[in-house]
Amino acid sequence: MSRFLKDTKKYYKYAIYSAKSKLQSEVASSYLNWLWWVLDPICFMLIYTLIFGVVFNAKEQYFTVFIFIGLTMWDFFNKTLQQSVKIVKNNKSIVAKVYLPKYILVMVRMFVNGFKMLISFGIVIIMMVIYRVPVSFNILYMIPIMLTLFLFTFGCSTIVAHFGVFVQDLSNVINIVLRLLFYITGIFYNVETRLAKFAPWNKVILHCNPLALLLTSARKCMIYDQTPARKFLLLWMVLSFILSAIGVKIIYKYENSYVKVI
């Protein structure tokens, strides 16, 4: 832990600088520039709202806000995990020349995707004002919810970053797993109500799938003025911390062998 804190402090500025550079390079050649960071999530939200809200006649209250919260949090996890699988190989020029804790590469992607998620949540807040969604102090639960999301994403991403060095087809496997998670996480539906007829399995899906729990918890405290399942939220926060510690430990143990493989 002390080594992790020391290295994070040492390379933190590099991670910030690298994230800024990647963000700038993403929009450098486009006409609308940074506006794409706003337009992209809005367009996806409108498409999914049309499909599930109109075509499939979803009746969830504040459905547009409901679906945007789910898409925003899912997009952060999904992109970070996918990008982490080949992150060491994609940064071969850096890894081969200078020493850099490989989990820092994951942090860079998290900073990039986290910045985009912050913009999306800004849009969520605007939408909440437009739809007159009632807000209470329950919204403060978003702090532990987002902390858990960051820890869980970091833990999963560091682990796949390690195995991605040695397993060539891991990215294909991860894509299949993410596709499955996409449909069982409840991005477009309420896990508790839509799967109520499968009780108590709906609770199992909700509490054993951290992403489903986090999305549901975020919607409860942001839209419906409800308290999330605090015990399970705390449980997954602890488990996510342990997962992150395992991921960092694995990288520290094997990172010297990465250069030989890539």
Q: What is the pTM of this model?
A: 0.91
Please, are residues 72 and 124 in contact by the beta-carbon 8 Å criterion? yes
Do 161 and 106 form a contact (C-beta atoms < 8 A)?
A: yes
- Report the alpha-carbon distance of residue 169 to residue 153 in Å, rounded: 21
Cβ–Cβ under 8 Å, residues 126 and 42: no
CA–CA dist 223, 172 (Å, integer): 36
pLDDT digits (tens), the chain, 262 positions? 788 889 889 988 999 999 998 888 877 777 767 788 888 888 877 887 777 766 556 677 788 899 899 999 999 999 999 999 999 988 888 887 888 889 999 999 999 999 999 999 999 999 899 889 988 899 999 999 999 999 999 999 999 999 999 888 899 999 999 999 998 888 888 887 777 777 777 677 778 899 999 999 999 999 999 999 899 999 999 999 999 999 999 999 988 888 877 7
Backbone dihedral angles phi then psi of residue 143, each to the nearest 5 degrees? -65, -55
Amino acid code (one letter) for 227:
T
